[in-house]
Structure 1
Amino acid sequence: MSQLFNLFLFIILLTTAMLWLINILYLRRRKNITSDTGNIYYKKLLYLSNCSINIFPVLLVVFLFRSFVFEPFRIPSESMLPTLQPGDFIIVNKHSYSIKLPFLNYDILLLSKPKRGDVIVFHYPYSKKVDYIKRIIGLPGDKISYKKKQLFINDIEIDNHRDGFYYDHNSMRFINRYNEFLDNIVYKILSNEGYINSLSPHFKFPFLENFKYSDGDFSCIVPDDNYFVMGDNRDNSFDSRYWGFVPYHNIVGRAFFIWMNFNDIGRIGYLN
């Protein structure tokens, strides 16, 4: 949806720019109106072009801001609980990793590489009109394993410590909450010990041969230029465990700030 909005914004921007040029190159130079009909059309076009002069600079700033700097998104699902809740409005830093050409998604300048623990927005690889938000768990070359709800990276167990319960209002039940320690980042995850995930591929995706599934557990090797992502709500997240890896060029940017939640103003702040 964000791509469609950006395209719509670009079309409006071009339209107002053309009206502005018509005003400068033609309307301001036209002094003699020879007929009433011509006068009516002239006034209408002049009115539209004058409006474009006021609108164009605003649209240009918004377009450049959304294309190169920050872009707002709304969280639609519970897959990132408790870090992100449905209804959270977040800001994504689009130049966290590179500066890209709008629409073409071509890197102009590389700034940094995605890191484990980053919360990213990306175009879902199998429907680029849909944007997902997950946490990067595996980098290119990593071996990722998930055994009995315990995460391993390159055969090293990732520490997590119990941190009480999280009450899910939708299911009206308490879910175990943990602090997970990944590299230098600490964040909270949800995992219900009494719930067994049926981990299996939902369809044949690229690099499926890199995955091994067995009795609810799995392991995989992350290929070059791809990333393995998971939701913090481990038992309720449709992520890389089911549909594979996120190509680098699908990444929109890193989510870093909740700027509004109309149901809970206290949620405004930075993300872990």
Structure 2
Amino acid sequence: MAENQGVLQGIWETVKTVVYALLIAGIFRTLFFQPFWIPSGSMKDTLLIGDFLFVNKMAYGYSYASCPSIRIPALGIDIGADDFCGVFQGDRDAPDYAGGDRLFGGEPDRGDVVVFRHPVTGRDFIKRLIGLPGDQIRMEEGRLIINDEPVGLEPDGLFVEEFEPQGPQGLRPRCSNGAVGLGADCEKRKFVETLPNGVSHSVLDIGRQNFDTTGTYTVPEGYYFFMGDNRDNSRDSRESQTTGGVGFVPYEDLVGRADRVMFSSAGRSMLYFWTWRGDRFFEKID
């Protein structure tokens, strides 16, 4: 009997340890940093498929979107931040809704690389903040225009990568040098874009695309306008939410700022150590 009680006590202690660990991890992820894998090439060459980073949740304060999401498609688990913390979400049908509120809220800066929840699907996206509330944004022949002023744009050579399936999804890159075979060089024209506040970053160009020239987007109060650095391969605020784009993103949907790549793997699994990109470990995100 005493032996059985000892076994049961050991099991109970193990269960308590696991529960406490999960609670601590949940609190840490909710309040401080959220891990994020880069799944697509929309932010090349700033971020590559397979980059792993931590999102700084303290940068902009906290909203319902700060709560963690749990998505495991293989097990049919799809729990969003609104399922955990939807009670804190603003009423988007209210006539006076203006992006929602945040606890200890801080304003993001133009040029920040931000993780946010898609306003419709609730999926986490990562893009660069281009437009602030009240801004007028448009594209003219691939050049970004903010409040009627073209941003700085200087040629910076070519971004070259091998044409091959990338990441767990096996995505193949798009190239400006036409259709190339597996293993060949896939090229994109590279530019340095300088935003009105002096933030400079790399952008890529494949060629003439639908969103190289657009109408004018006027960013509403309490909302933000995001774009990918791989401009011709990014579904972002230039495209409406009803057609799969991002549209304008409410303030309360911001999750946090991405500051540094912690780890990077070019393979289909992080276990393929021979595909690790050691030169990207702990790289600052500009």
**Matched residue, 1:132:** 125
Aligned residue for 2:239, secondary structure, equals helix
How far apart are the structure 2 equivalents of 1:174 and 1:155? 31
**Matched residue, 1:141:** 134
Q: 1:126 is aligned with what amino acid?
A: V
User: 8 Å contact 2:203–2:230 — kept in the other structure?
Assistant: yes
Q: 1:253 is aligned with what amino acid?
A: G
Identity rate of aligned residues, in percent? 36
Sort the Cα spacing of 1:147 and 1:70 in 2 relative to 1 into closer, same or farther, 3 A.
same
Q: 1:117 is aligned with what amino acid?
A: G
Give the number of the structure with larger relative contact order, counting CA–CA contacts within 8 Å between residues 6 or more apart: 2
Select which of 100, 110, 116 maps to 1:116: 110
**Matched residue, 1:160:** 153
**Matched residue, 1:245:** 248
Q: 1:184 is aligned with what amino acid?
A: G
In the TM superposition, residue 39 of structure 1 has moved relative to its aligned partner by: 8.4
Asked if 1:77 corresponds to 2:40, the answer is: yes
**More deviation in 115-124 or 46-55?**
46-55
In the TM superposition, residue 162 of structure 1 has moved relative to its aligned partner by: 0.8
Aligned residue for 1:241, secondary structure, equals coil
User: 8 Å contact 1:70–1:91 — kept in the other structure?
Assistant: yes
Count of residue correspondences: 217
Residue by residue over 1:57-77, the C-alpha shift from the partner in whole angstroms, topping out at 9 and shown as x without a partner, is 433332221010001100010
The runs of 5 or more residues in structure 2 that have no matched partner are 68-83, 89-100, 164-174, 176-184, 241-246, 266-275
More helix by share: 1
Select which of 53, 56, 62 maps to 2:25: 62
With the length of structure 1 as denominator, give the TM-score of the two structures.
Answer: 0.73
**More deviation in 79-88 or 175-184?**
175-184
Asked if 1:227 corresponds to 2:227, the answer is: no
With the length of structure 2 as denominator, give the TM-score of the two structures.
Answer: 0.70
**Matched residue, 2:208:** 196
User: 8 Å contact 1:177–1:191 — kept in the other structure?
Assistant: yes
**Matched residue, 2:263:** 260
How far apart are the structure 2 equivalents of 1:148 and 1:51? 61
Aligned residue for 1:121, secondary structure, equals strand
User: 8 Å contact 2:142–2:213 — kept in the other structure?
Assistant: no
User: 8 Å contact 2:237–2:248 — kept in the other structure?
Assistant: yes
User: 8 Å contact 2:63–2:252 — kept in the other structure?
Assistant: no
Once the two structures are superposed, the pairs formed by residues 15-26 of structure 1 within 5 Å of their partners are none
Q: 1:59 is aligned with what amino acid?
A: L
Q: 1:142 is aligned with what amino acid?
A: D
Sort the Cα spacing of 1:111 and 1:235 in 2 relative to 1 into closer, same or farther, 3 A.
same
How far apart are the structure 1 equivalents of 2:106 and 2:112? 12
In the TM superposition, residue 217 of structure 1 has moved relative to its aligned partner by: 2.5
How far apart are the structure 1 equivalents of 2:137 and 2:219? 8
In the TM superposition, residue 55 of structure 1 has moved relative to its aligned partner by: 3.1
Residue by residue over 1:180-214, the C-alpha shift from the partner in whole angstroms, topping out at 9 and shown as x without a partner, is 1111311111013xx22113xxxxxxxxxxxxxxx
How far apart are the structure 1 equivalents of 2:121 and 2:155? 36
The runs of 5 or more residues in structure 1 that have no matched partner are 1-35, 200-214
Q: Over the residues paired in the alignment, what is the CA RMSD in angstroms?
A: 2.2
